[in-house]
Amino acid sequence: MPRVSQDQLEARRHEILGAARGCFARYGYEGATVRRLEEATGLSRGAIFHHFRDKDSLFLAVAEDDAAAMVETVARNGLVQVMRDLLDRAGASGDTAGWLGSQLEVSRRLRTDPEFAKRWAERSAAIASATRERLERQRDAGVLRDDVPVEVLTQFLELAYDGLVLHLATGRPAGELSRVLDVVEEAVRRS
């Protein structure tokens, strides 16, 4: 039997995450049955669960993958850039289902699953921390307004982000949201 390299295992894991993201987005956590996950990935349950302990671990890996990408973007370019990227995806394809679906499912599970909420707390803290750290760097560089505490600006940006996610999730058109994000960005910058 040929040996599988670590690169091949990582590539397969990445493929599973991508297909599972679409399946969770389309059917939600409950509706993404093992059979649907098999169809989405083109793999058997054994192949899927060779990489992930169970469906819950697979979902958490999808959500963690999305959160890690978000933390990277926030650290480099800020939370407003995450919102702009989301709008770009909505505009380019008219569909944000993969990412948005996992965000909505995370939100639902945070409300209904205390164990998941405990596991998710550190991911959420990483996003807030990256946002705070970026805002502090901007404040130190003289770019950010200094009349409002960084913690309040962090919460303001998180609320704007949550509002954008809700807006897109309810199927409302993006319309002038790019200009709205300009206003959000201007609200945190020094005059």
Average pLDDT, the chain: 87
> Is residue 135 situated within a structural domain?
yes
Question: Distance of CA 28 to CAs 32, 38, 42, 86, 127, Å?
Answer: 6, 15, 19, 20, 23
Give tens-digit pLDDT for 19-54: 998 898 888 888 999 999 999 999 999 999 999 999
Total domains, the chain: 1
Residue 20: its pLDDT value, please?
A: 92
> Is residue 24 situated within a structural domain?
yes
CATH number of the domain enclosing 54: 1.10.357.10
> Is residue 1 situated within a structural domain?
no
> Is residue 40 situated within a structural domain?
yes
Confidence of residue 92 (pLDDT cuts 50, 70, 90): low
Retrieve residue 74's tokens. 């926030």
CB under 8 Å to 118, separation ≥6 — which residues? none
Spatial separation of the C-alpha atoms in residues 183 and 90, rounded to whole Å: 20
Give tens-digit pLDDT for 72-86: 999 899 999 999 988
The model carries a pTM of 0.78
> Is residue 126 situated within a structural domain?
yes
> Is residue 20 situated within a structural domain?
yes
Asked whether 178 and 84 are in contact (CB, 8 A), the reply is yes
> Is residue 111 situated within a structural domain?
yes
Name the residue range of residue 111's domain.
6-188
pLDDT tops 90 at residue 156: yes
- Which residue has tokens 């890690």? 68
> Is residue 22 situated within a structural domain?
yes
